[in-house]
Every structure is written in C-alpha cells, then in structure tokens.
Amino acid sequence: MSLIPQWREVAATPGTVVAPDERLPWPQTAAMGVQHVIAMFGATVLAPILMGFDPNVAILMSGIGTLIFFVLVGGRCRATSARASPSSAW
C-alpha cells in the first residue's frame, strides 16, 4: 500500500467524468485548487473570526485533520459519494 496515490491524467472535455484514480491536466488542476482555497476561506478563516475564535487554530486543526484523513485512507476514498454524469437526474 502506497501512501502517495498515483493518478493518471485524463483529457478534460465537456461532459467527461473524472474517476477517483484520475486527475485533470496541471493547469486545470491548479485552477480547481485556487477555487477550492477561495471556497474554503469562509469556513476556515471567516467563520472563526465571526464567532470570536482564533483562525490560526482553525487552520492548524484543518491541516492536522487532513493529514490524519490522508494517512488513514491512503488515497482510496473518492472525493464524492456518487459519480455524476450529464444524464443523471438529481
């Protein structure tokens, strides 16, 4: 069992579903990462500030939780609970 998962790159075309063992090309992966950082800012920094907590502790606990999760699942866990496709009805 490897702690570092090996993803294979897939071409990003409209309607393509990226499987758990696949990843987008680096420019799109970086763009998704920036989007994730912006989205998580509210939960990790803004929410503790609004509640009067120290945001540094929230960031530290987020990092520790992420490391524990990664070690426990070793990349075997999908990012979503279901694979969405353009034809699936929610």
Any idea where the domains of the chain sit in the sequence?
A: 25-73
**Residues 14-37: pLDDT tens digits?**
887 888 788 888 898 899 889 988
Helix (H) or strand (E) holding 57: helix 55-73
Q: Report helix, strand or coil for 29.
A: helix
> What mean pLDDT, rounded, does the chain reach?
79
pTM over 0.75: no
